[in-house]
Structures are given as structure tokens and as C-alpha cells.
Structure 1
Amino acid sequence: MGALSIRNVRKTYGQTEILKGIDIEIEAGEFLILVGPSGCGKSTLLSMIAGLDVPTSGDILIGERNVTYLPSKDRDIAMVFQSYALYPNMNVGENIAFGLEMRKVPKAQREEAVQRVAKMLQIGHLLDRKPGQLSGGQRQRVAMGRALARDPKLFLFDEPLSNLDAKLRVEMRAEIKLLHQRTKTTTVYVTHDQVEAMTLGDRIAVMKDGLVQQFGTPDDIYARPANRFVAEFIGSPAMNFITAERQAQGLSAHGVSLPVDEAALSGQGTVLYGVRPEDLRLAGAGAPGSLPATLRMLEPTGPETYVLADTPVGTLTARVAGKVEQRVGEAIGLAWAPQACHLFDAGTEQRLA
């Protein structure tokens, strides 16, 4: 049995079904990401794991214990909120120790726990300060310290980095990953940011409309997205899609032949042909095996450049390393390997190959 088991969990508010049968299981020490757009149900699911809400049906187990209807205080969990939820009238040390004090932990043990997590998070010099004297990143460290002091079975993070600026988000993401590597505590982390999902998670549950669209490792989800939604949501820029006809001799769109593995050619009819921007490479105009294109826009990011190009099969985005020498309006070629394509059913949008 896993460290966390979510079994056919459903949640209904009136006539509105928020969660439509969620099944997830992770092992002890794993880092689970719940990712998806706003309104997909990920925060509702986290609230049920935390004991802040109860399912309409289904079960939630932590270890071997069914906690579906247990109050939060009896679940041996610790939660880090988006808003930090620090007590403004207490200093950092008091905030970290507060949960232990409420559980009647002896003072000596509380002080030992505060010093332990302060050292781990490098906030020992902040223990006497009030939250109002701290930066956003420091407050987030204190919130994590309060959770760590508990030494719980399960850490829960509710979009903890969304209030931070871009640079600090990257730094704190690394802090959370290092923290998990040190503590090995089972963790559930909610985010709408696919970069956080890919960099932090051992397992990812991609959610949409109250359903898990795909559950697997970051590599699984990136390399073999289960449907068009997952393919577009995971990866930046999003996957390019071309509507194509599958025929005995190959795939074609608007009279243009598309590279594809022979193994993917069983069957007939219309398919969605996907190729990731990073799998496209720029070639000279008229290069053999390339798709003719006109360069519409360049977006340099420093280490990479996003290239928007008009082609006979639609506008495609390429993500290429370094600086692009070609100029807007110039004729180019786009090429990619047959193995780089992803095929989805045009009707159901589910993966074919």
C-alpha cells in the first residue's frame, strides 16, 4: 500500500461535479504534483487530503489509515499555503514552534526543532524578526520551517511560489527540491505552472475538468502525452498541431507529405499530428526533406530563440539554441525526424502513436 492512496474520489457542490472519480497512489517519499489550469479541481483535491473538506464519495488513505473523514489535526500532515499564513504578532521562532506548542510538545523539544529547521533553511539569523520585517522569500522559508518542525508523514504545498517574482520563484523551487531530497518526506504539491511540475515532481497528475488526464513520471508525460490537452499543457512553447490525413503511403496535410514512422501508419482517416518546437530545426530554403516556410517572427530569450514560421500546413513554432541569423520575411526550411511526431485521434484527441 502506498504512502497516499486516493480512491475514486468525487466531489459535488449542488448539481456541479468538481471531481469526477480521482484515483492516485504514490509510494513513501515520492513528490506528487497536481497540475492543471484554474478550475480543474486540484486545490479541491488537496483540501480533501488536508482534511479541510470531505469527498462526496471515495476514500483517502495516508499509509494504511483511512483518513477520509478525520479532522486535519489527526492526519499527521503539514501544509504550506500560498499566503504563508504566518502570525504577524509572533516572531519567526514563535511561528515555527507554534504548531508544536499547540500539541503540548515540551519546550526543550520545541527549541531543538526550531534550531534544526532554522539551520536547514538558513534562517537562523531571522528567528527574532516579525513576519512584517521579512521579504517574500524569507516568509516562504518560515512557512516551510513551521511545516518541517512537525516532522509529518505528508507535506502539502498549495501553490506556494505564485506570489513571488520570477527570480525568487526559481530560487525557492530549488530550495523545495533540495529540502525534499534531504527529508524524503512524502509531498503533494499543487501548481498551475508546468515548469514547476516538470522540475519538482517524481509523479505528475495532469488534471482538467475534474479528471486526471494523465498520471506518470515527468519523462512519461513529456515523451508520450496521453491526449492533446496534456501535449499542449506540458512543454513550452506548446506542441505544434497539424490536421493530417493518414493514408497507406503516409501522412499528408494540404498536399504536403509529413515525416512519420511506418509503425504509426495503421488505419485511415484524419489525425492530429503533433511535433514539439524543440524537435524542429532550421534548414536553408529548399533544403531536401524540409518544409518550405517564411520566417514571421523571432523571440530571442538569450540562450534560445523562438521562431514563428508560416508554412503550407499552418504556422509552426520552433525552439532553437542560440541566435538565429535569418531575418523576418526570409524563406527558410523546417525539418524534423519522423520519430519526433505524436499522433492523436482527430475526434477524441486521444493518443494513437
Structure 2
Amino acid sequence: MGALSIRNVRKSFGDVHILKGIDLEIEPGDFLILVGPSGCGKSTLLNMIAGLDTPSAGTIHIGDKDVTHALPKDRDIAMVFQSYALYPNMNVAQNIAFGLEMRKVPKAERDAAVARVAKMLQIEHLLDRKPGALSGGQRQRVAMGRALARDPSLFLFDEPLSNLDAKLRVEMRAEIKRLHQATRTTTVYVTHDQVEAMTLGDHIAVMKDGILQQFGSPHDIYSRPATQFVAEFIGSPAMNLVAAKVAAGGLSAHGVELSLSDAQRQALAAAGMANGADVNYGLRPEALSLADEGLAAHITMVEPTGPETYVTLDSAIGHLVVRAPGKFHPVVGDTVHLAWSTDDVHLFDARSQARIGM
């Protein structure tokens, strides 16, 4: 059994089904990301792991212990909230030590734990300050320090960076990753930010409407999305999707034949996609390249970001976005040509939105 096992977990409020049978398992030391849009059920699932809510059905094990109905205090977990949840009347050292004090840990051990995590988080100089005198990033470090002091078997993070500005989010994201690499404590982290998901997680669970869409490594999620939703949600800019129809064993979009490999043609046939069937033809923005010949497209918008430039184009097969090098300076209104490899093509059944083929 893994460090965390979630088996057929469901949650309903009357006729409203929040979670619809979630199955997940991670090994000790793993960093699991629960990601998805607002309302997908990720925070509800985290609350059930924490013991703040109970499943309507299914079981949750932490290690070899069934904690489905156990109290939070009996789960050996530590949680970091979006709101920090610090005691304003206590200084930093007292906030970090509070949980240990409630468990009647001897003062010498508490002091040693505070010193250890303060050094790890580089907040030794803040130990005498109250939360009101700290910045948002410093408060988040204190909240993390309180969790680290517990030395739990499982860390839970509930969108901990949502209240920080963009620069600080990047810094704290790196800090959380560094801490996990140092401690190797099993971690479950909830976010709606797909960049956080890709950069932090050993494994990612993508959720939508209470259903687990895909569970895998960041590489698997990005390079082989199991559903069209995953393909569109993970990746920025989002994957280009072209509405196409099966014709004579190939694909056609608005009269333009779309290139396919032999394996992709075989996958269409194996999936029962007969002539006239609707298929969505997917290409990541970086899979498209500017070429001397190929699909003609007119530039309609240019978004420079520094290292990269996002170019939006109109073509015979629809709107497309290209991720180009930052040194490329396209002009709105110009006509360019696009080329791509069939190795980079993703196919989805337009009806079920499931991936077609490997």
C-alpha cells in the first residue's frame, strides 16, 4: 500500500454529486498535485484527506491506516492554508511551536524544532515579530514552518500561493520545491494554476466536474493528454484544436487535408471512426513552425513575452496560435506559412473527447 491511497471516494450533498469515484495512490516521498478549474472537487478531496470532511462512499488510507472517518489529529498530517491561519497575538516562534505545544512536546524539543525550520526557511531574523509585521511571503513561510515543525507523514497544501503577487509566487514555488527535495515528505498540493502543477508535481491528477480526467507524470500529462479537456487545460498557450472529419481514411478540415502518420490512420480505424466522423486535430503551439511553404496563415495578433512571442493567425483550417522565439518580430497583417510533424499531432474523438490512439 502506498503513502496515500484513495479508493472510489465519492461525495454528494443530496442530489448534487461533488466527487464521482476518485481512485489515486502515491508512494512515500511523492509530490501529488490536484489541479483543475474552480468547482472541480479538488479542495473537497483535500479536505477529506485532512479529515475536515468525510466521504459519502469510498476509503482513504494514509500508509497502512484507514483514516476515512478518523479525526484530523489522528492522521499525522500538517496543512498549509491559502489564508496562512496564523495567530495574530503570537510571534513567529510561538506560531511555529503552537502545534507542538498542544501535543505537549517538551520545551527543549519545541525550541529545537523552531530553530531547525527557521534556519531551513531563512526566517531566523523574524522569530520575534508578530504576523501583522510580516509580508505575505514571510507569512507563508511561517505557515510552512509550522507544518514542517510537526514532521508529519503527509503535507497538505490548499492553494498556498493564491494571495501572492506574480514575482513572489515564482519565488515561493521554488522554495516549496526545494523544501520537498530536502525533506521528501509525501505532499498533496491543490492548485488551479497549471504552471504550478507542471513545475512542482511528481504526479498530477487533473480533475473536472468531480471526475479524475488523468493521473500521471507532468511529462505524460503534457505530451499524451488522455482527454481533450486535459489537452486544453494543461499548457499555456492552450493546444490548438482543429475540427475535422474523417474522409477516405484521412482527415479533412474545411477542404484542407490534414497530415497523418500510418499509425494515426490505423488508430482512427481501430476507434471505429468511419467516414464523416468528427475528430479534433490537436497541435501544441510550439509544434507549429514557420516555413517557406505549407499552410498559409495571416497574422492577426502578436504577444511578445521576452523569451517567446505568441503569434495568433487565421488560416483555412481556423485560428491557430504559434509559440515563436522572442527574437522573431512578426507584423500583424503579414502572411506566413506553417509546417508541423505528424509526430506532434494529437487526435480526439469530438463526441467523447477521449484521446484516439497512443
Q: Which TM bucket (shorter chain)? A: over 0.9
Counterpart residue number, 1:340: 344
Ranges in structure 2 where 5+ consecutive residues have no aligned partner: none
Find the aligned partners of 2:152 and 2:249 in 1 and give their Cα distance. Answer: 59
Find the aligned partners of 2:111 and 2:349 in 1 and give their Cα distance. Answer: 59
Counterpart residue number, 1:83: 83
Q: Does 1:24 align with 2:27?
A: no
- Give 1:149 shift: 0.2
Find the aligned partners of 2:130 and 2:92 in 1 and give their Cα distance. Answer: 6
- TM-score w.r.t. length of structure 1: 0.98
SS of structure 1 residue aligned to 2:167: helix
- Give 1:121 shift: 0.4
Q: Does the CA-based 8 Å contact 1:248-1:265 persist in structure 2?
A: no
SS of structure 2 residue aligned to 1:220: helix
Find the aligned partners of 2:77 and 2:320 in 1 and give their Cα distance. Answer: 46
What amino acid is aligned across from residue 287 of structure 2 in structure 1? D
- Give 1:132 shift: 0.4
Greater Cα offset, 29-38 or 248-257: 248-257
Identity %: 71
> What is the correspondence of 1:249-288 to structure 2 with a 5 Å cutoff?
250-266=250-266, 267=269, 268=274, 269-284=277-292, 287=293
Note the alpha carbon deviations across 1:91-130, whole angstroms, 9 max, x for none. 0000000000000000000000000000000000000000
Q: Does the CA-based 8 Å contact 1:243-1:271 persist in structure 2?
A: yes
- Give 1:245 shift: 2.0
Counterpart residue number, 1:124: 124
Note the alpha carbon deviations across 1:276-310, whole angstroms, 9 max, x for none. 101111224xx1xx111111110000000000000
- Aligned-residue RMSD, C-alpha: 0.9
Counterpart residue number, 1:211: 211
**Compared with structure 1, are the counterparts of its residues 143 and 263 closer, same or farther at alpha carbon in structure 2 (3 Å cutoff)?**
same
Q: Does the CA-based 8 Å contact 1:246-1:265 persist in structure 2?
A: no
Find the aligned partners of 1:302 and 1:260 in 2 and give their Cα distance. Answer: 34
> What is the correspondence of 1:305-324 to structure 2 with a 5 Å cutoff?
305-324=309-328
Ranges in structure 1 where 5+ consecutive residues have no aligned partner: none
Q: 2:304 aligns with which of 278, 300, 303?
A: 300
- Give 1:230 shift: 0.3
Q: Does 1:229 align with 2:229?
A: yes
Note the alpha carbon deviations across 1:174-201, whole angstroms, 9 max, x for none. 0000000000000000000000000000
Q: Does the CA-based 8 Å contact 2:302-2:330 persist in structure 1?
A: no
Counterpart residue number, 1:186: 186
Note the alpha carbon deviations across 1:10-31, whole angstroms, 9 max, x for none. 0011210100000000000000
Counterpart residue number, 2:7: 7
Q: Does the CA-based 8 Å contact 1:10-1:20 persist in structure 2?
A: yes
Counterpart residue number, 1:168: 168
- Give 1:333 shift: 0.6
What amino acid is aligned across from residue 61 of structure 1 in structure 2? H
Find the aligned partners of 2:112 and 2:157 in 1 and give their Cα distance. Answer: 24
- Give 1:233 shift: 0.2
Q: Does the CA-based 8 Å contact 2:52-2:72 persist in structure 1?
A: yes
Counterpart residue number, 1:36: 36
What amino acid is aligned across from residue 352 of structure 1 in structure 2? I
What amino acid is aligned across from residue 281 of structure 1 in structure 2? S
Find the aligned partners of 2:209 and 2:330 in 1 and give their Cα distance. Answer: 42
Find the aligned partners of 2:263 and 2:56 in 1 and give their Cα distance. Answer: 44
What amino acid is aligned across from residue 295 of structure 2 in structure 1? L
Find the aligned partners of 2:287 and 2:300 in 1 and give their Cα distance. Answer: 19
Note the alpha carbon deviations across 1:210-247, whole angstroms, 9 max, x for none. 01000011011101101110000000000011111223
Number of aligned residue pairs: 349
SS of structure 1 residue aligned to 2:286: helix
Q: Does 1:291 align with 2:299?
A: no
Find the aligned partners of 1:260 and 1:101 in 2 and give their Cα distance. Answer: 64
- Give 1:251 shift: 2.0
Find the aligned partners of 1:194 and 1:346 in 2 and give their Cα distance. Answer: 24
Q: Does the CA-based 8 Å contact 1:300-1:323 persist in structure 2?
A: no
What amino acid is aligned across from residue 117 of structure 1 in structure 2? V
Find the aligned partners of 1:282 and 1:237 in 2 and give their Cα distance. Answer: 17
Find the aligned partners of 2:300 and 2:37 in 1 and give their Cα distance. Answer: 29
Find the aligned partners of 1:83 and 1:273 in 2 and give their Cα distance. Answer: 42
